[in-house]
Amino acid sequence: MPRSLWKGAISFGLVNIPVVLSSAENRNSFDLTMLDRRDMKPVGFKRYNKETGKDVPWEDIVKGYEYEKGRYVVLTEEDFRRANVEATQTVEIMSFVDAEAIPPTYFETPYYLVPDRRGEKGYALLRETLKKTDKLALATVVIRTRQYVCALIPRGEVIVLNTLRYADELKSTKDLDVPSANLKTVGVTAREIEMAAKLVEEMTEDWNPEKFRDTYHEDLMKLIEKRIKAGQTEVISEPEEEGATRAPAEVIDLMALLKKSVRAKEHKNGQRNRGKRAAGRHDRTVRRKSA
């Protein structure tokens, strides 16, 4: 069982569903140590009293809200909880929207919700209702010290709580320099769209997240292992000169590339289909001989 962030309940009309919230992320990251390049010694970051200059241990550190210059209101974890006990322990469903209604830019961080004791029936009811109606539940939740709007999304047997960004947290797109929707002004032809659509069709497949890997993380680990084996553990690579490896810009014949890509995918799919047919004929031959 993953470590829970908190235990509370989903408030769904008059229904109260006890749940446990846990993180759905498992990010690949490097545990890197900051070093002084002059002697390769670790660099420390001190917590110190800015007036006395003396170190301050963690147990003596509290959180304060500065309401005037140099004057603070001290807040503890219990204060954050007491400010609104219901909000800090409840995923309160406010409304429902169509599953495709929320633009992808609003989605932020996923969490898993699992039923707590005696919450199984209500959890299953909500999950299956969301599936049947093809809706998402919009709710509010407090995680740590911040309130979020979030979406409850059924995924298989699990309800995913995905925090959403507030509207004012997204930058406007009006100042972005992007091509006009009038494709004639950028030289895109109907034939090019047709060819691109054909390529999309040829490349369409079922979603398989296991197919994708963090190859950048893997390549960095290979570089680290290579330097360890070579004894180059304290070599510092200097940055390359600007533009040293950049190729000059070239004019792209988009239609030629699309045609080439479509032909390549058609050939690949044709080979795959011929292989399936050959395997099918082989299986039928084996069954006839067995019979």
Structural domains in the chain? 4-26+81-168 (2.40.290.10), 181-204+252-285 (no CATH)
Q: Could you report the per-residue pLDDT of 53-64, keeping only the tens digit for each?
A: 999 998 999 998
Do the beta carbons of residue 42 and residue 34 sit within 8 Å? yes
Highest mean pLDDT among 9-18, 43-52, 242-251: 43-52
In one-letter notation, the amino acid at residue 212 is F
Q: What pLDDT score was predicted for residue 28?
A: 65
pLDDT of res. 39:
84
Most confident of 133-137, 143-147, 189-193: 133-137
Handedness of CA 225, 231, 234, 240 (dihedral sign): negative
- Lowest mean pLDDT of 13-17, 68-72, 101-105, 167-171, name the range: 13-17
Q: Does 250 score more than 60 pLDDT?
A: no
**DSSP-H helix ranges across 92-185:** 120-133
Range among 25-34, 131-140, 182-191, 207-216 with highest mean pLDDT value: 131-140
Mean pLDDT, all residues of the chain: 82
What is the structure's pLDDT at 26? 74
Token pair recorded at residue 83:
């400010």
Q: Which is more confidently placed, 284 or 256?
A: 256
**Alpha carbon 264 to its chain's center:** 32
Residue 265 — pLDDT band, cuts 50, 70, 90?
Answer: confident
What share of the chain in percent tops pLDDT 70? 82
Query: In the prediction, which pLDDT does 96 show?
Result: 96
pLDDT at 260 over 80: no
Percent of the chain with pLDDT over 90: 27
- Top pLDDT among 117 and 158 is at 158
**Between 63 and 79, the higher pLDDT residue:** 63
Counts for the chain of helices (H) and strands (E), in that order: 6, 11
d(CA 272, CA 282): 15
pLDDT: which is higher, 36 or 125: 125
Q: What average pLDDT does range 123-151 have in this prediction?
A: 92
46 residue type, one letter: K
pTM exceeds 0.85: no
Q: Summarize the confidence of residues 229-249 as an average pLDDT.
A: 65
pLDDT one-digit tens code per residue, 161-205: 999 999 999 998 888 888 888 888 888 888 888 888 888 888 888
Torsion, Cα 241 243 245 251, to 10 degrees, reads 180
Query: Which has more confidence, 77 or 9?
Result: 9
Structural tokens at position 179: 């091509």
102 DSSP assignment: S
Q: Please give the Cα distance from 87 to 147 (Å, whole number).
A: 8
Phi, psi of 164, rounded to the nearest 5 degrees: -120, 150
